[in-house]
Amino acid sequence: MEALSPRERVLLAIDRKETDRLPIDFGGRVSGISLSVYAEVKKILGVNTTLQTFSNRLQTALVDEEILRLFRVDTRHIRPAPAESWDSRLQGSNSYRNEWGMKLERLDGGYYYDFADAPLAGAKIEDIDAYKWPDSHDLSRAKGKREEARALTQDGKYALFTGFKGVFERAWALRGMEQFFMDMIADREFVEALLDKVLEVQKAIYGPYLEALAPYLDVVTYTEDLGTQTSPLISPKIYRELIKPRHAELIKFVHEKCQARIAFHSCGSVLEFLSDFKDLGVEIINPVQVSAEGMEPQALKENYGEHFCFWGALDTQKLLPVATLPEVDEAVKRTASILGERGGYIFAPAHNIQPLTPPENVIRMFEVARDL
């Protein structure tokens, strides 16, 4: 096969067609690397640039262009600019509030910022509209993003990915998970009002951003964890009644703003939702958490390979932190051979590479992948 451009390679994989080599992704919000591990990777590779942060909450690194090229990464990732209407300064050494009003804290010795409060925990339905939502008239999130996209993709050479949280995760974080889950049974009216308000705000704040990226954007990922290690987080029945209709609206909205393909990111065991994602027109499944119940690559490929491109799947939970280099070699080759058979696979870590992962394992996984 004639050599493809990185973008052509990724788009063929999304269309579940064979490519000249394995498409590779690295460095985004759901395929990134912890700051501490990345610092060690850079040291080993002799890259002496300043360490920069990609996600403050997740404490992941902005991957240098030099390393992306070294690993033959076919994608580039972009994120909205911080809203100028939001004071993003840390309110303490280990805490801050995001523009949705939620406090996030990193405990001493912790690796991430976790939700520390739920600002709508005690709210009534009439309080929803009165809440101080992100400023939907602030266009600064899109400022300079078309120019950045052009530079990142080198005018279309690389596939461009972006993403944002879905309505379910945003809603339960505002309400508090325990209370929101009780509400889904006991107070459906409140839940539906909150979900609809979150969707309304998301469409308002992300619309101009997506429009700015439209000439260059290839994939929009919305992150919506629906699985635990062993089972769905909520019942498929509740998902279909409350969440799926909002997902359909969210996907329709994205398609109105740009021609990007839709990726659904959910950690955990989501096998029971795959038919729903197919109904919604989702084309890409991420991160393919192979350590979770029912997420074995062989079965996923056999049963859903004609419907989805799989993106991720190199285990960051039970493999990368402890594996020997030969074990990393074998896992990369096995994963690629199964999920990449006849196309339809983008190689990446199954979510962000975690702290304490040996940097040698990170380097080896990409060295093996780039030669497949």
Three-state secondary structure string covering the chain: CCCCCHHHHHHHHHCCCCCCCCCECCCCCCCCEEHHHHHHHHHHHCCCCCCCEEECCCCEECCCHHHHHHCCCCEEECCCCCCCCCCCCCCECCEEECCCCCEEECCCCCCCCEECCCCCCCCCHHHCCCCCCCCCCCHHHHCCHHHHHHHHHCCCCCEEEEEEECHHHHHHHHHCHHHHHHHHHHCHHHHHHHHHHHHHHHHHHHHHHHHHHCCCEEEEEEECCCECCCCECCCHHHHHHHHHHHHHHHHHHHHHHCCCEEEEECCCCCHHHHHHHHHHCCCEEECCCCCCCCCCHHHHHHHHCCCCEEEEEECCCCCCCCCCHHHHHHHHHHHHHHHCCCCCEEEEECCCECCCCCHHHHHHHHHHHHCC
Condensed to tens digits (0 to 9), the pLDDT of residues 291-322 reads 999 999 999 999 999 999 999 999 999 999 99
Predicted TM-score (pTM) of this structure: 0.96
State the average pLDDT for the chain: 96
Q: Inform me whether the pLDDT recorded for 212 exceeds 70.
A: yes
| pLDDT at residue 92 tops 90 | no
| Per-residue pLDDT tens digits for 20-43 | 999 999 999 999 999 999 999 999
pLDDT of residue 88: 63
Q: How would residue 90 be classed by pLDDT, with cut points 50, 70 and 90? A: low
189-203 pLDDT tens trace: 999 999 999 999 999
pLDDT tens readout for residues 55-67: 989 999 999 999 9
Give the confidence band of 94 by pLDDT, cuts at 50, 70, 90: confident
Give domain limits for the chain. 6-85+120-370
pLDDT at 137 over 90: yes
Whole-number percent of the chain with pLDDT over 70? 98
Percentage of the chain modeled with pLDDT above 90: 94
Sequence-separated (6 or more) residues with CB below 8 Å from residue 193: 125, 128
For β-strands 345-349 and 217-223, DSSP reports them as unpaired
Distance CA(263)–CA(261), nearest Å, equals 7
pLDDT recorded at residue 278: 97
pLDDT of residue 297: 97
CATH topology of domain 6-85+120-370: TIM Barrel (3.20.20)
Asked whether the predicted pLDDT for residue 91 surpasses 70, the reply is no
Alpha carbons 208 and 214: distance in angstroms, whole number: 10
Cα separation, 218 vs 215, whole angstroms: 9
* Predicted confidence (pLDDT) per residue in 216-273, tens digit: 999 999 999 999 999 999 999 999 999 999 999 999 999 999 999 999 999 999 999 9
The per-residue pLDDT for 117 is 93
- What is the identity of the amino acid at 255? H
Q: How far apart are CA 83 and CA 78, in angstroms?
A: 15
* pLDDT > 70? residue 210: yes
222 near 169, Cβ under 8 Å? no
